[in-house]
Amino acid sequence: MSRRPIATLTMSLLAAAPALAAPATEPGGTATLDYWSMLYVFMLSTFIGIGVIRRVSRLLHTPLMSLTNAISAIAVVGSIIVTGSEHPLPIRILGAIALFASMTNIVSGFLITDRMLKMFKGGDGGRR
């Protein structure tokens, strides 16, 4: 049933791929930032997000919110870099608090989404 959406999805992904795979400048280096490609990625992923999320069943809006919550806790990536690198102590403390906060969102977000989705049962009550 979902052949067509997947196809559109793949196409949009392919369109976004060159931007996603563009080489990163060395972190900490003074090289000019590749900010045009970042803006492209932002623009394209916003459209992909809107396209995908518009089709989410209204039944599932609460789990959708907790799932996107967990996904946006991808801030964990930034927190790990700040916490784990050789930085002054206060910086690492800020990073560790951020890492803790993101991790909390990841764990509680995914688990509660699954807990809620488990409860949605179709037709005659007991199936699945």
Interactions with other proteins, residue window 11-70 (CB under 8 A): 13, 17, 19-25, 27-28, 30, 33-35, 37-38, 41-42, 45-50, 52-70
In the region spanning residues 106 to 125, those forming contacts with other proteins, defined by CB under 8 A, are 106-125
Q: Pick from 7, 11, 15, 74: which binds other proteins (CB under 8 A)?
A: 74
Least separation in angstroms between CB 18 and other proteins: 11
Asked if residues 20 and 63 have their Cβ atoms less than 8 Å apart, the reply is no
Residues 76-95 that bind other proteins (CB under 8 A): 76-88, 90-92, 94-95
